[in-house]
Chain A
Amino acid sequence: MTRRFIVEPRGLATWWLKLLIPVAAVIAALVIGAVFLSITGNAWLEVYKKMADTAFGSGRGFAETLVSATPLILTGVAAAIAFKMLVWNIGGEGQLIFGAITAAGVGVWLADGTPALIAVILVVAAGAVGGAFWASLSALPRVYLGTNEIITTLMLNFIALHLMQYLVYGSYSPWRDPEATQFPQGRPILDGGRIPEFFHRLDWGIFIAAAVAIFAWFVIAKTRSGFEYRIVGDSFDTARYAGIRVPRKVLGTFLASGASAGLAGSILVAGILGKMDPRSLDLGLGFTGIIVAALARLNPVAIIPVAVLMGALNNAGPSLQSIGVPSAVVMILQGAILIFAVGGEFLILNRIRRPERHVAEVKAAAEGSAA
């Protein structure tokens, strides 16, 4: 049987290919977006210019982009470290929300006189603990009972969402502002618990997020524990054979993943929001984190620039309504980026070549043996 192409697994892909594929994925997604825009009678170039201008055109615009990028770095890290170990935590959404619930809970519970530094640390850390706890509801059954974590993390997203809405809209819980009589909203956390802003609405949270990403990279690339983690990610069997306690590794990774997503929630609460605001915490940041992780090819450091790109899209979206373009075009772009990024993995894992050389070799060998 002759075939036009031979597809074979590639050993190690070159660095430029690993860079080229994600860039190509973004460009291809922009083309898809342009098609949608053109069909519906919009000048696609104008739309893209408007988006670029909103996201990068001014200092304040760029600050706003970084504000949007901050939680995405953390949900991106959450997805990346889990996916690399084939732990399919798609519950970043719920872990972020539960992290926000615990952070806001600590933030309204702390006495007003608490020293600012201690208050900030407690509020932010509470989010990580909350996120890890919410992840444990899926992680423990996965590790000890073998329950599929895809479904449990997913369902826990919606449970967390309704829990948050109940605490603010459906009850007179401590999370609800007793002074907001017109329309229910979250109760502001203590002033000392807020992360300080340093430019426009941008606060120090972005450095916490970037530090978490770099820390994750360091642990994975440079420590013994990270080495074991990589072995488990490559093959459970190899890891078991090497004496690594796989269940513990999986559990630890799953909880760390949840903590990172929970941190995204607490940094939002302690940062720009200042309270648990259900609408601002229900924007699909957990799912967008999965796009960030995939486009960064699960590399924690690459997540930082990719999160800025996704933050730019999220930041630019609402501004499009002023020129009559639905902001959902951003979701089309993000979905298409993910489709192309995951498809592009094929080209990184495999190489395609013409079979001539191979056929010629076989022929030559056959003739050689005949002679």
Chain B
Amino acid sequence: MNDSVLILTMVAAMGLGTPIVYATVGEILTERSGILNLGVQGMMMIGAVMGFWATFETGSLWLGVVAAMIAGALLSVIHAFNSVTLRVSQIVSGLALTIFGTGAARFIGRAGAEPLIGMPSREVFKPVLSGGLADIPVVGPLVFGHDALIYLSWVVVAAASYYLFRTRHGLTLRAVGEDPASAEAAGIKVSLVRYLHVMIGGALAGLGGAYFSLVLVPSWQDKPIGQAGWIAVALVILASWRPWRALWVAYLFGAAGRISFTFQTLEVNVPSDILAMLPYVLAIVAMLLLASGKRARLLGAPAALGVPYSREER
């Protein structure tokens, strides 16, 4: 039962989906403040390399996680400065962050006397709570026996959702994303809120990146994260800016990423390149059906998303 193709696919989908969960929830918090950050891919790359490097140097997985989050947050400050303080194009600035972050990560991975490239990770996150619980039919493998970062991602999703919809600070955040001028008039420091949430988004993207280099493919390569950062940007819309939905759509996309392997197991013959298109086709179709025109607004898009805010021009 527990080794049926369906169950195995679902468990694998959770693994592949987890870095996307982190990055998507991070970008949701950023976009809720009204800032669009297309630098997710770059922040994940820098998180992946710094997390790997820190664990490689110290032998501590959790120091790796912390390093990845700090690296992602620091990179995101550039975007916050460009879009909040200088009020220039958020789209171009985000793309710049992705190019810079990807280049920096590859450079760091290959530079120095003993480059990281090709090295296996010194430590790997191992499954916890495996024991007998994981043998319970169906529920067992889905709920137990994951690594700590999967459980942490559930905590992050729950915390982000609670924060957004059940706390005063979450209300402040949403107000800034909907109508910064009114928020400012109510005494909220719009710039501060935006800086903070761009950085939280960066930290979570960095953590998502580290999940690749410390769990999924525990070694350093030039292209460790695939296109996960871009997928995350698309999923924010499909998750309609809500953390719990981000969890489910990220797992769905994890399953789409896993499908070629599943098809092989079932001896269904579809070319792998065609299957590799699936997540992207899925994202476009979902965008067309769910998020076109006014419907994007109804989904919950922050009204001030991507619009530069200046105190002087009201």
Contact = CB atoms under 8 A, between A and B. Distances in A.
B274 A338 contact: no
A166 B176 CA distance: 46
B186 interface: no
Contacts of A331: 99-100, 102-104, 106-107
A158 interface: yes
Contact of B280 (A7, A8, A159, A346): A159
B122 interface: no
Contacts of A349: 88
Interface stretch (B20-28, B190-198, B283-291): B283-291
Given A326-B106, A326-B111, A329-B103, A290 B271 contact: no
A272 to B, nearest CB: 24
Most buried by B among A36, A291, A328, A330: A328
Interface in A140-176: 141, 145-148, 150-152, 154-156, 158-159, 162-163, 165-166, 169-171
Nearest to A294: B92
Given A329-B107, A332-B104, A342 B287 contact: no
B168 interface: no
Contacts of A325: 111
Given A146-B292, A146-B294, A338 B99 contact: yes
A51 B101 CA distance: 21
A339 B288 contact: no
A246 to B, nearest CB: 15
A335 interface: yes
Contact of B88 (A36, A151, A346): A346
Interface in B45-100: 78, 81-82, 86-89, 91-93, 95-100
A155 B291 CA distance: 15
**Interface size for chain B: under 10, 10 to 19, 20 to 34, or 35 or more residues?**
35 or more
B102 A145 contact: no
A349 B82 CA distance: 13
B270 to A, nearest CB: 10
A305 interface: no
B80 to A, nearest CB: 12
Contacts of B78: 339
Given A329-B103, A338-B100, A343-B86, A159 B288 contact: no
A154 B41 CA distance: 12
B292 A147 contact: yes
A154 B280 CA distance: 9
B216 to A, nearest CB: 19
B175 to A, nearest CB: 23
Nearest to A29: B100
B244 interface: no
Interface stretch (B141-149, B154-162, B230-238): B230-238
Contacts of A165: 273
Contacts of B292: 141, 145-147
Interface in A294-320: 294
Given A88-B91, A335-B96, A339-B78, A155 B276 contact: no
B278 to A, nearest CB: 9
B86 to A, nearest CB: 4
A336 B111 contact: no
B113 A335 contact: no
B240 to A, nearest CB: 13
Contact of A162 (B42, B82, B276): B276
A330 to B, nearest CB: 7
Given A147-B292, A170-B272, A332 B100 contact: yes
A363 B170 CA distance: 43
Contacts of B227: 158
B277 interface: yes
A346 B291 contact: no
Contacts of A145: 288, 292-293
A334 interface: yes
A157 to B, nearest CB: 8
B112 interface: yes
A88 B88 CA distance: 15
A115 interface: no
A41 B115 CA distance: 12
A369 interface: no
A339 B293 contact: no
A334 B107 CA distance: 13
Interface string B106-131: 11111111010000000000000000
A191 interface: no
A29 B95 CA distance: 16
A158 B282 CA distance: 12
A58 interface: no
A41 B293 contact: no
A90 interface: yes
Given A170-B271, A339-B96, 20 more contacts: A36-B107, A40-B111, A148-B287, A150-B38, A151-B284, A155-B281, A155-B283, A155-B284, A156-B284, A163-B273, A328-B106, A332-B104, A334-B103, A335-B96, A336-B100, A338-B95, A342-B92, A346-B86, A346-B87, A346-B88
22 contacts: A7-B312, A141-B292, A145-B288, A145-B293, A146-B292, A146-B294, A147-B293, A151-B234, A152-B287, A154-B234, A156-B280, A166-B273, A326-B107, A328-B106, A328-B107, A331-B104, A331-B106, A332-B107, A335-B99, A335-B101, A339-B97, A342-B92
Interface of A: 7-8, 36, 40-42, 83, 88, 90, 141, 145-148, 150-152, 154-156, 158-159, 162-163, 165-166, 169-171, 287, 290-291, 294, 325-326, 328-336, 338-339, 342-343, 345-346, 349
